[in-house]
Every structure is written in C-alpha cells, then in structure tokens.
Chains A and B, each alone.
Chain A
Amino acid sequence: MKKVALYIHIPFCKQKCLYCDFPSLAGKEDCMLDYSAALAKEIDNIKDKKIKTIFIGGGTPTYLSLAGWEIIKKSIDTLDICDDLEFTVEGNPGTFTKEKLSLLKKMGVNRLSIGLQAWQDSLLKQLGRIHTIEDFKQSFEMARNLGFDNINVDLMFGLPNQTIKQWEETLQNVTKLNPQHLSCYSLIVEEGTEFYKRFKKGTLNLPDEEIERTMYAKTIEILRDKGYIQYEISNFSKNNKKCRHNLVYWELDEYIGCGAASHSYSDGFRYRNEENIEKYIEKMNNDNSVIIEKTKNSFKDDMEEFMFMGLRKTEGVSKSEFKKRFDKDMDDVYFDVINKYTSTGFLTENLDNIFLTYEGIEVSNVIMADFLL
C-alpha cells in the first residue's frame, strides 16, 4: 500500500495576524462543530492509504474547541497509520489548555509546532499576535510537562521596527528552552494583508535590506552554535529531528489534504479544496465533492517541481533520484542552468547532489525560476 502524508486544515483563529495571508478566519467560532463533522467525513474517505505523517495546520488548530477535537479524533483513530508516524499539530500560545493537549496526546500527536514569532511583547503587539512572551513560556512548559518531546517554534525576522539586537535576543531566549526544531521565516509582506496596505501607504517601517540580511546570517550563525542544523532555507533542527511532513513537499512525494483550502498531490494529480468554510461544510454534508480544481501534473511539471522544491533543502536535489524518477540525466535537462549558477558560485555540487550556496539561498527565486522549462 502507498504511504502518504496527510495534511488537515483548521481555518479558525481568535484574531487574524496583520501579516497573515493563510486561509484562516476570526469570528467563525459558530462553525467549529459543523466544520469538524465535515472534516471528519472527509478524513473517513481516505481508504487504501497508509499514513506516514500527519500535519494539522491552520489557522490555529489549538483554537478549535475540545468538542471539535473529539469529533476529529474519532476519524483519525480509524486511519491506517505507520508505526513511526510523525504527527504534528500547530498551535498558538494562549489557546492551549491541559485538556486539549491531553486529548491530542491521546490521539497520537507526537510533535507540536508553536507560533511565537518574537521575544518582545512590543513586537508581538505590532504583529497582531494574541499572546505575550509569558503566555508562550507557560504553553511551552505545559507541553513539555505533558510529555511532548518534539517541539517546533516558529519565529520571524525582518519585522517592522525590529532591530538586529532584538532578533538575537529572540534566538538566544528561545534556544534556552531547547526546542527540537526552529522555523525562522523572513517576513514577506503579502498582498491582501493589513501589512500590505500599510506598506503601500508607506507606514510600514521595515528594516532595510542589509539589516534584514544580517538577521538571516545571524540566525544561521547563532543556531549553529547552539547545535541546530539548517536543513532547509528557513528550517533548523537538533538531533536530526527534521519535520518529515514538510520534507514530503520538498521531495515531491504524495500527500492528501483534508479541510477547506487544502491541497493534495496524489497519483500525479494536484487537487485544491473549496476555500469557503460554509461552502465546504455544505458540500461535505450534501455528499458533493469539495475539490474545486484537479490538474494533471505533466512530466515537465514534475521535473520543475522536483528541482525548485528540492533546492529549498540544504542537501539540495539528488541526481540519482532524478534519474530514478524521470529516467533522464539531470544534466541532459538542466546542464546550462546548473553550469551558469555553479560557475558563478550560487550552486555547488558534490558527487550526487546539487545545492544552493549561502549566496544562492539569498537570491534563490531567481535561480529557481531558471529551472522552469
């Protein structure tokens, strides 16, 4: 049987952060139970697949009510899972309760991903976060006490009004808590967000480019000192506790998405689910398909995606894996591009792999775009 990854989307948030453009909504608490029931139904449809990783993301999954979680748990309990299942749930400080975490633990969750973003209450406030540093510390401790031994913390740099010193402070303090995994994202001002509006108006005081780049360099340097290995552009782990679920995306393996606005890649097709929560619920209830887009990935699509997704990893893409998948030599398809960037120091190769150098990572979009055929 095929082993696949499973993504489950919980679109609820207590409050929308000002930079966020993910499919998430505040003020939809009334829908929580109906949504959970619809979601459970969709999960129940997964047959003939063995699940190797589960990632419940959001939104703020931990904001979902206990009753909602109980509904979902029933369906998850019936899934055919691998023995070494990696099961992650995302959450935000201030939405954790002992009851919820215990339920998650019972459901088989063995990895938590906590959104912190910054170690300064002033910055958290500016981001529109609902929690304080104190809330985070409590949530983190609660999780540890309940036996969660694989925890990720999400952080962001390049924030409005953020200084290099503040960012260093964030990294120093977070690493003291010894999480197994850190995701450090450079802020992207996305269209449709409150930040974007301010950016257009010129009132978003972003650090200048050189400062932002210094922050990235500091991230790598400080985390390396603390024993974290960078394995992707924004991801670091200790003791090889990489996020196996995310590796599925980067390695062009199969995954099933459940819930509003989720995506799937299965049997060479890409699927996209209904985004609107109410419509999603209605369709599920009426036994209608929630898939609103289904496209066959061409051979060319697959090669392109294998390359530009794979290059996100520090180990890069494997030539032998490429040959195995596509029955072609990578050089036959990409010699010119690879040569262009290896000769200018943006790509490096060892025996089997091609990967971005530090300089390459910083301008990786330019390089990745060149891998489109």
Chain B
Amino acid sequence: MQSNRQNHIRNFSIVAHIDHGKSTLADRLLEKTGTLTKREMEEQVLDNMDLERERGITIKSQPARLVYKRENGEEYIFNLIDTPGHVDFNYEVSRSLAACEGAVLVVDASQGIQAQTLANCYLALDNDLDIAPVINKIDLPSARPDEVIKEIEDIIGIEAQDAPRISAKTGLNIEDVLEAVVNKISPPSGDEEAPLKALIFDSFYDSYKGVVCYVRIKDGIVKPGTKIKLMNTNKVYEVVEVGVFVPNYLPVPILSAGDVGYITASIKNVRDARVGDTVTEANRPALKALKGYKPAIPMVFSGIYPVDGARYGELKESLERLQLNDAALGFEPETSIALGFGFRCGFLGLLHMEIVQERIEREFNLDIITTAPSVIYKVMKTSGELIEITNPTNLPEPTEISYMEEPIVKASIITPSEYLGSVMELCQQKRGVYIDMQYIETTRVVLNYDLPLNEIVYDFFDALKSRTKGYASFDYELKGYVTANLVKLDILLKGEKVDALSMIVPEESAAHRGRIMAEKLKEHIPRQMFEIPIQASINSKVIARETVKALRKDVLAKCYGGDISRKKKLLSKQKEGKKRMRQVGSVEVPQEAFMAILKVD
C-alpha cells in the first residue's frame, strides 16, 4: 500500500553493458528535468573521479534526485542511482539495485545484447526489479532497433515492443524514457510508522562530514538527532544531517520510507558503514536486518611496493586514505627480499587493482611497483593442515604439499559466431571446461565455460579481445574451488631468485610461461654495466634462459665548449630514469617489468 507521497516517487537504476550509453543517458535525464542547467552540465556529471571520467567507467554508485513535471502538471521525484558497470563491482551493483524498484535497461541499437547487459539485467531481475528497456544510439547508421528488441524479448524474456528508441547523445526521445520510468516502474512502498530500516547502498568518506552513508529508507523515518544503529556492526551513532542528492548534498529535515538520500553521523571509516548494512533506530530497532549483506571479498591479490623504499610510510598512508573510501580494498604489510617493505593487497578484480594502483600514483604522487596478480590457492599439506596462499613466495616446498586447489569462475562470453572456434580454442588453452552454448541470433553466441580464475588474471581478457577484434564481451562470477596441478615458477636475475617475480602456474604450461617471462624481462630490463642472465626455474630446475648483454657504450665524446648545463641535463635525465627502476640485488629493474609478464603480444 503506497501513500500518495510514495506514489510520486520512482527509485531506479540504469543498467547497461559498458559503452552502451548509460552515463550519457543519465546526463540527459538530469538536463531534461532541469536538475542541472546547461551551464552546470559537464559530461558524465555523475562520474566524479577524474579516473572515472577518463576511462568512461563508473566506480562508485552515484545517486541524483530529479524532479519530473509531467505535461498534466503532476510532479514526480526520481531517484536515479548510477551504478558501477564492471564485474569487479558486482556486489555494489546488486546493493544499488536493492535500493530501487526498477531499472532502465539500456541496450545499444547496433551492438545489441552483450555479456554485461545480461549479467546486469539478471542482477536486476534477482532483486525483483521492474525493467524498462530502452534502445539507445538509434541515430547510428548501423542501428537495428527491431532486431535488438527481438533479442531482448527472446533472450531476457521481457516485453520490449514499446521500448523508447532514443539517442542519448543527441537528446532524441528522452521524454519517452521519463514516461517509461513513471509507467513501468513501481512506486516504493514501506511503512513510515514502522521502526527505521534503511539500506546502505554506498558509503563515501568526506573530509568535512565524515562518512556519508547513501541510503534507501525501506521503513520508518530518520532525521538529525535520531540515534541509529548499524545492524551488522552493532555500532550506535547520532545522526548529524540527512539530505538528498541534487546531485550535490542538500540537507533536508527528514527522510521517510521510500526516499533515497544520505545520512551523516560522525562515522570515521567506511568500514564501519559497509555497503549492504542496515540502519535502524537504536531505541526501537527493527527485528530483522535487510537481507543480502556480505562484506566484499577480495579475489585478486598482488604486492604493492614503493619504487623508492624510503617512501614506505607514504605508501601506507595512501592505502589507508583510499581504504577510508573503499571498503573492498584490503592490505597487510609484507616483505620481499627483492623489493623490501610493501603490502599484499586484495582487490575485487583486475580493474579494481588497476584503479587502486592508478589512484596511488596520481593522487599521492608515488611511484609504485605492483607484482603480478595472484588468486587465493588452497593448499593441503602432507601434515593435514589446509592453508591459503595469496603470495606465491609462501607456497610450501613440493614435498610438503599433498594437493592444491584453485578458484574457478563461471564465465559467459558473448561472441560473434564467426569467432566461435577461436574463442573455444582459447578457452581450452586456458584450461576451460565447456558447459554449454546458446545462439542469441544466427550471428551471435553465448558461450558458457568454467575457467580457472588465475587464467583470467593472467591474460585472458586481452587474448579474447584480440581474437575477436574486440567484439566479444565477457562476464564471470566465482564458482568454487577445484584441485589442480600447479607449480611455482621462479625467476632468477644474475643467479639470484627474485621472489617478487614468482608465480603459481599450471604445470602443463609452466615451461611455456617460463620462456615468455624470460623473453619479456629481457625486453624490459635495460642493458647495464654487466651481463644479466635471466633464468626461469621450476623446483630449482632451469627451464628457460635469456641474457641482457652488458652496456658497451654510454659516453659523451664532446664537451660542448662551456655549455655545461647541456651535459648536466643529459645526466639528470639519466638519473631520473633510474629513479623509476628498482634495485634488485645489483640489477636495476624498471617498474613495468614486474607487470609486463601479464601482457601478451
């Protein structure tokens, strides 16, 4: 049963495959409803971080409150929650969706349904959301809206005949989207008299306000002064401010059931207000928390070290600062013989890792070395002890290992059918287990495979892109663990083992990987004052060898008369170059070398 107030609220997300125009549509909706004037409009208003804007991706959920005036004079409050589009942030997506009653499903009129279209749409359906499909980019010459509508109906199984056909870029038919939101998406329900129950769908650290919890009020009301309790941490705070997103923070006197807004309560760390947690009243708590809370679990691990060992303290500080805002980022100190003091960091996935890495370099101006990503291996020792390994260096001696297990994922790949053979071959190479496949239409196929996660963190995505000329899309979720035949591949530089370059690899491809690693390192390590033998070894047996020849000549013959500054500039440049390298034993190894092994040709 909805109140009249609630009848005029719509809470929705926009879901789409990457690049199908989600953020552009959000911009248009803001513009069309006058939430922002033209002057205030910047492209992708909702993507705040520089990084998000540059990469055209959304990392954090970002809500906005829109006021839509219908032609008949009726006013609606739209709460639009922009969600991350990447598989790494699936959990955030699912919580954002849980804060909504509906989702606008944006599908590119020429590309049609892609892997993330399906993944995100299924997430929305899992959350019982109403789906309002929208066909975008109909201004493109290659647009085929009728076929795409048929795809939506056939594959997803929802009615799509009256889906608005729009161009978010040019602003064509945006009105239709607004009407579809009113007509297709249910208004919120919820009892204003009941004890407070609010879902945290994101939390954000603000240096003035402390943690800002982004919430959807399911039941009850909240206002400044309310004593609140977070049901999973059991911590109690007093609300300082509540407000809505316009899209900047706008304080309001009260948030009631059905509203989307924010709460601040002098919370110091996002870890204390985790996404998915339920906010209730301390004095009149709800009986049950909202379902679905789970702390984000890192799946990919890598070591992060400062290039300049003296900056360890700064690195620690930067990770702590990032963690204030990123509850999924985990880190703990580790020591490498080669790299000194650093941190083993846990990430949701590769994109998350890259983002953290880039933010450390950009926002904290630190040069860092990131070691090759690893997954969590389960190792059953002969002693009967089961241990988890996130750093290859810690793998016990082969004689102490009874068996090992590695994580596998359920992967779904959508590819044009002409590349089917090539994609299947790739999946086989990457030790995939074929599950099934389904034709979307005669020209496109959904392929389902079980794949080891460590193959995905290695180079799977790049290889998939290159084999399908960029047309294939890919999505995955963790499935479980299976036993596997794995060995540790070590790298030796000038005869000394470099722990930071060790990797756990399948035994069958170890020799091949070893050769590639040695070759890649040879490409990346510049010639130095002495010869540098590079060796790859398994169980102390050398399986590949390359040599970086000694530098023969680096000398300035001329003295440029009295122009000493010129020579000095040259030497300074040389010195700067060295700063980006890390001394490993007597060898200078450039930053990129530690990651280069991930890049395939």
Contact = CB atoms under 8 A, between A and B. Distances in A.
Partners in one complex: yes
A365 B571 contact: yes
B555 A361 contact: yes
B568 interface: yes
A263 B530 contact: no
B310 interface: no
A346 interface: yes
Give the top 5 A-B pairs by smallest Cβ distance, nearest first. A263-B562, A369-B574, A185-B557, A186-B557, A369-B571
Contacts of A361: 555
A249 B556 contact: no
A255 interface: yes
B260 to A, nearest CB: 57
B240 interface: no
B561 A249 contact: yes
A210 B571 contact: no
A363 B529 contact: yes
A309 interface: yes
Interface in A213-233: 213, 233
A209 B555 CA distance: 12
A246 interface: yes
A312 B530 CA distance: 21
Contacts of A370: 575
A250 B554 CA distance: 19
Interface of B: 529-530, 551-559, 561-565, 567-568, 570-572, 574-575, 578
A365 B529 contact: no
A209 B574 contact: no
Interface in A184-202: 185-188
A312 B578 CA distance: 22
A184 to B, nearest CB: 8
Nearest to B570: A365
B571 A372 contact: yes
Nearest to B558: A185
Contacts of B564: 249, 263, 265, 270, 305, 309
Contacts of B574: 365-366, 369
A312 B559 contact: yes
Contacts of B554: 362-366
A233 B562 CA distance: 16
Nearest to A361: B555
Interface string A235-276: 000000000001001100001010000111100001010000
Given A188-B557, A246-B559, 15 more contacts: A186-B555, A188-B558, A209-B553, A233-B555, A234-B559, A249-B561, A262-B562, A265-B562, A361-B555, A363-B554, A364-B555, A365-B571, A365-B574, A366-B551, A369-B578
A119 B462 CA distance: 56
A213 B568 CA distance: 24
B575 A7 contact: no
> Taking each of B562, B563, B568, B575, which has the highest tally of chain A beta carbons within 10 Å of its own beta carbon?
B562
A309 B555 CA distance: 13
Contacts of B552: 209-210, 213, 362-363
A39 interface: no
6 contacts: A233-B555, A270-B564, A305-B568, A308-B571, A365-B574, A369-B571
A368 interface: yes
Contacts of A364: 554-556
Nearest to A185: B557
A235 to B, nearest CB: 9
A183 to B, nearest CB: 9
Nearest to A156: B557
Nearest to A308: B571
Given A263-B563, A372-B571, A366 B556 contact: no
A344 interface: yes
A364 B567 CA distance: 12
Contacts of A262: 561-562
Interface in A1-55: 7
Contacts of B553: 186, 209, 212-213, 362-363
Contact of B557 (A233, A263, A304, A366): A233
A179 interface: no
A233 B575 CA distance: 21
Given A209-B552, A363-B529, A372-B575, A304 B568 contact: yes
A47 B37 CA distance: 70
A344 B528 CA distance: 12
Nearest to B562: A263
A68 interface: no
Contacts of A365: 554-556, 570-571, 574
A205 to B, nearest CB: 18
Contact of B556 (A188, A246, A272, A305): A188
A210 B555 CA distance: 14
Contacts of A186: 553, 555, 557
Contacts of B559: 234, 246, 249-250, 312
Contact of B529 (A212, A263, A265, A344): A344
Contacts of A368: 571
Nearest to A187: B557
B487 to A, nearest CB: 36
A57 interface: yes
Contacts of B561: 7, 57, 249, 257, 262-263
B569 to A, nearest CB: 11
Nearest to A246: B559
B557 A234 contact: yes
A361 B574 CA distance: 16
Contact of B572 (A210, A255, A265, A372): A372
Most A CB atoms within 10 A — which of B553, B574, B575?
Answer: B553
A270 B571 CA distance: 18
Interface in A105-148: none
Contacts of B557: 185-188, 233-234
A364 B570 CA distance: 12
B403 to A, nearest CB: 47
Contacts of B578: 369
A40 to B, nearest CB: 20
A362 B555 contact: yes
A339 to B, nearest CB: 13
A186 B555 CA distance: 9
A188 B559 CA distance: 12
Interface in A282-335: 304-305, 308-309, 312
Nearest to B571: A369
B252 to A, nearest CB: 59
B145 to A, nearest CB: 50
Contacts of B530: 344
Contact of A270 (B529, B558, B565, B572): B565
B581 to A, nearest CB: 12
A363 B555 contact: yes
Contacts of A312: 559
A363 B575 contact: no
Nearest to A371: B571
A369 B557 CA distance: 15
A213 B549 CA distance: 15
Nearest to B577: A369
A233 B563 CA distance: 17
A185 to B, nearest CB: 4
Nearest to B529: A363
A308 B570 CA distance: 12
Nearest to B552: A209
Contacts of A187: 557
A205 B575 CA distance: 30
A309 B554 CA distance: 15
